Structure 1
Amino acid sequence: MDRRGFLITTGASLAGTALAWSSATASAASNPYPRIGSEAITSLSTRLAHLSRLDDVWGSGKLRDLAAAELRLLTGLITDTTHTTEVEQGLYGLAAEAARLCGWLSYDSGHHAAAQRYYLTALRASATAGDTLVGANTMAFMAIQLYSRGNPQDAVALVETAQRSIRGRATPKTIAILHARQARALSKLGDQSRCATALNAAFDAITKGCDHEPSWCYWINTTELHMLAGSCALDLGDARRAVHHFTTAKDSFDIATYPAGAVIYLARAAEAHLALGDPDAAADLCLQAVRCHDSIDSARADRTLAALRARLARHRTPVVREFLDQIPPSSA
């Protein structure tokens, strides 16, 4: 006989199933907030890490709305779900990192007031989570805004607060990040001695291995430190040392993986060559930066290349003219 023609559950068994369903739905109705567990933290952390890495490839313009949506999702999960205290702390920690990313993307897009608001949100969320490392990293990014657009001395004070807050709990990469930001701020102040001390501490820290680095530390390595050291030397008026660091970094920098960062550092290397009186070398580096720039959307990169165009416009060698043709005045 074809048993597929018969019902499998009937009678008392069927009634029991219906009763169980009725009880379950009544229970759900009495508790409108869904419950999430620790596995959600792992999934959400992975999403956020992937989003952060997209900035390396696309730039901030394409990602600001996406990062803001991620922050809204995390905020909603905090307020509209039930969870353990441990899961809640994890959600606050992720919200802090999402707000930090929103701050960075806003800064890179030229929205400086919004960037500061996001950074302050990140600090509050990290304090609630008890995650001092996320908070310290947020202060490192706030320092970039301060030494670039505000008062470098405020940036130094902020980094020193971050360093004190994570003493005894910091990983090698977080130590390197904070020393590097300290060095950049000090270079803006013209403090060559303290800048060199901070850079040496950053290079020392990055050589120490650790199996438990936060995912947001992925970008810091010796190559990046050489690029930051080059920027410091440029600010301190030592163009020759800047070229040395930028050349060392370029030999190992993965431009295809990090085109957004490449635009900035190639442009700074070009500035160093221009300071040494070599406009052709500067223009050649600018041409490489333009090729990277074609794939990203970053107001900061736009401004950087426009400023270099203005400085190179007074030189009329063939290589310089080729670069000037790539970046017409209307886009500068």
Structure 2
Amino acid sequence: MGTTHVAVQRWLDGGGIQRQTAVFVAEALSDKLRRRIAPKDIGFPGITSIPTPAVGMPYAGSLTETLSILDGLTHQRPEDGPADEPLPDSDVNSAALAWLVSRPDGLPTDTPAARRVGMRDVAAIRTAAGFFMQLDFQFGGGHAHKAFRHYFREDVLPLLGASYSAKVGESLFRAASEMSQLLAWSAYDSGNHAHSGRYMLSTLRLTQVAGDRMMGARILTNMSHQANYLGQAPRALTLARASVEGGRSSSTPRAMALFSAHEARAFSTARDRKGAARAMNEAERFFERADSSDDPEWLIYMDEAELFGEFCHCFRDLGEGPEAVRFAELAVALTDPKYVRTLGFCRMVLAQSQLLNGELEEAVATARLAVEAGDALQSARFQRYVADFQREISAHAANSVVQQFNGQVRDAMNRLDDE
């Protein structure tokens, strides 16, 4: 693309400019100033830098590119675009490798900016992150995604291009990564895997700025979780191993327990009993050494109930009914009721595990409790757990208990559609 001094003077005089030209001008200034410049910052308020949705997306090469991608993603809703087209293996594998061998970019603390960021701004982001995390746990990823996107775009991204000290900058980028991964997770929970994948890759790149290896490993774990959910066992295992190895040198024992538990999940999906047993043993050993005083706030949910919840998934996928029931019952008993969705998942896994043991009526009774909670149904992932269970009991369609349960699910989904 080219331009002339005549066109520039026309823009300065208030004349029109093509949308893509304004985007290119903003990107050129961003590269020059080493901070994010949006079209609205240079006098084009009606134009936003929204990347064209695509299945593939390479790992960003710079902070400027990362922030541009994240800004564009916040203008897109999870329900828009391809939902069932996860990122290609080539993009995911190259991103994981790039992160594993990366060094911190270094914070752009010498950036000239009109605003100076302080620890009070960082505290506000962390408070908002805790609020949105609780909404996600209780009501599902789609409940407040619009408000979350707006907050991240308008109140978080601009701070990353402002002025700050090295200490504030490190805390700021860590807090921004936490927020960004919540957006990725809520998009995943809403059922848009392509959208979520792009958020996850961008968040992984964001952790590289300040060298936050523990959060980066968590992102890889989340990506493994998603791949596992989609039945992509090889990808899930690759990402889980990358999270364990990449996080090992700088993560707390509690974080390592989380990463190892998801490695066990990936092995279980692949029906590798030996690998799953080893990873579960490692997760237990790490958890025994956990000390909450060493952990970041985003790890607060990783308690004994969460660990047992991961283990019951493993044993269910390995077809080991008695062990799956044992750990699922422990997870249900120990899960804090405020984690509504997590409790719903554990109850559904308990129901599936009881079914593995041939306990049809007990399994349906457990699933009824999960559906009765209601709030968890706003999660697309939970809805699939219920649908999977309905498929598993379809061989008993003539059974009155099964018919009653199917009717309960229909009524619950109808109520959800009316809200």
Indicate the TM-score class for this superposition, using the shorter chain for normalisation: 0.7 to 0.9
Q: Could you state the TM-score of these two structures normalised by the residue count of structure 2?
A: 0.67
Tell which deviates more after alignment, 129-138 or 149-158: 149-158
Tell which deviates more after alignment, 148-157 or 240-249: 148-157
Q: Give, as a single letter, the amino acid of the residue that structure 1 aligns with 2:190.
A: S
State how far apart, in whole Å, the 2-side matches of 1:101 and 1:227 are.
Answer: 20
- Work out the percentage of aligned pairs sharing the same amino acid: 27
Asked if 1:327 is matched to 2:394, the reply is: no
Asked if 1:135 is matched to 2:216, the reply is: yes
Is the CA contact 1:57–1:259 (under 8 Å) kept in the aligned structure 2? yes
Per the alignment, residue 106 of structure 2 pairs with none
Per the alignment, residue 213 of structure 1 pairs with 295
Per the alignment, residue 53 of structure 1 pairs with 134
Q: Give, as a single letter, the amino acid of the residue that structure 1 aligns with 2:176.
A: A
Asked if 1:273 is matched to 2:342, the reply is: no
CA drift at 1:295 = 5.9
Is the CA contact 2:371–2:377 (under 8 Å) kept in the aligned structure 1? no
Is the CA contact 1:263–1:289 (under 8 Å) kept in the aligned structure 2? yes
Is the CA contact 2:304–2:334 (under 8 Å) kept in the aligned structure 1? no
CA drift at 1:150 = 5.3
Give the match's secondary structure for 2:176. Answer: helix
Is the CA contact 2:257–2:283 (under 8 Å) kept in the aligned structure 1? yes
Per the alignment, residue 309 of structure 2 pairs with 227
Q: Could you state the TM-score of these two structures normalised by the residue count of structure 1?
A: 0.84
Map 1:30-69; keep pairs closer than 5 Å.
33-69=114-150
Per the alignment, residue 157 of structure 2 pairs with 75
CA drift at 1:110 = 0.7
Give the match's secondary structure for 1:204. Answer: helix
CA drift at 1:251 = 2.3
Give the match's secondary structure for 1:87. Answer: helix
Give the number of the structure whose residues are more often helix, by fraction: 1
**Which segments of structure 1 move beyond 6 Å, counting only runs of 4 or more?**
none
State how far apart, in whole Å, the 2-side matches of 1:330 and 1:49 are.
Answer: 29
Over 3 Å counting, the alpha-carbon distance change for 1:88 and 1:292 in structure 2 is same
CA drift at 1:70 = 3.2
Q: Give, as a single letter, the amino acid of the residue that structure 1 aligns with 2:309.
A: M
Give the total of aligned pairs.
300
Is the CA contact 1:78–1:92 (under 8 Å) kept in the aligned structure 2? yes
Q: In angstroms, what is the RMSD of aligned CA positions? A: 2.1
Asked if 1:249 is matched to 2:331, the reply is: yes
Tell which deviates more after alignment, 145-154 or 179-188: 145-154
State how far apart, in whole Å, the 2-side matches of 1:330 and 1:40 are.
Answer: 41
State how far apart, in whole Å, the 2-side matches of 1:295 and 1:161 are.
Answer: 31
Over 3 Å counting, the alpha-carbon distance change for 1:239 and 1:295 in structure 2 is closer
State how far apart, in whole Å, the 1-side matches of 2:394 and 2:410 are.
Answer: 11
State how far apart, in whole Å, the 2-side matches of 1:138 and 1:192 are.
Answer: 25
CA drift at 1:246 = 0.8
Map 1:97-246; keep pairs closer than 5 Å.
97-149=178-230, 151-210=232-291, 211-246=293-328
State how far apart, in whole Å, the 2-side matches of 1:114 and 1:261 are.
Answer: 22
State how far apart, in whole Å, the 2-side matches of 1:158 and 1:56 are.
Answer: 24
Per the alignment, residue 382 of structure 2 pairs with 301
State how far apart, in whole Å, the 1-side matches of 2:375 and 2:241 are.
Answer: 38
State how far apart, in whole Å, the 1-side matches of 2:375 and 2:349 are.
Answer: 18
CA drift at 1:159 = 2.2
Give the match's secondary structure for 1:128. Answer: coil
Over 3 Å counting, the alpha-carbon distance change for 1:331 and 1:120 in structure 2 is same
Measured against aligned partners, the alpha-carbon deviations of 1:83-119 in whole angstroms (never above 9, x if no partner) come to 2233223222222221211111111111000000000
Over 3 Å counting, the alpha-carbon distance change for 1:267 and 1:89 in structure 2 is same
Q: Which runs of 5+ in 2 are unaligned?
A: 1-111, 415-419
Q: Give, as a single letter, the amino acid of the residue that structure 2 aligns with 1:51.
A: F
Larger C-alpha radius of gyration, 1 or 2? 1
Is the CA contact 2:177–2:206 (under 8 Å) kept in the aligned structure 1? yes
Tell which deviates more after alignment, 49-58 or 117-126: 49-58
Q: Give, as a single letter, the amino acid of the residue that structure 2 aligns with 1:212.
A: D
Is the CA contact 1:57–1:296 (under 8 Å) kept in the aligned structure 2? no
Tell which deviates more after alignment, 316-325 or 122-131: 316-325
Q: Which runs of 5+ in 1 are unaligned?
A: 1-30
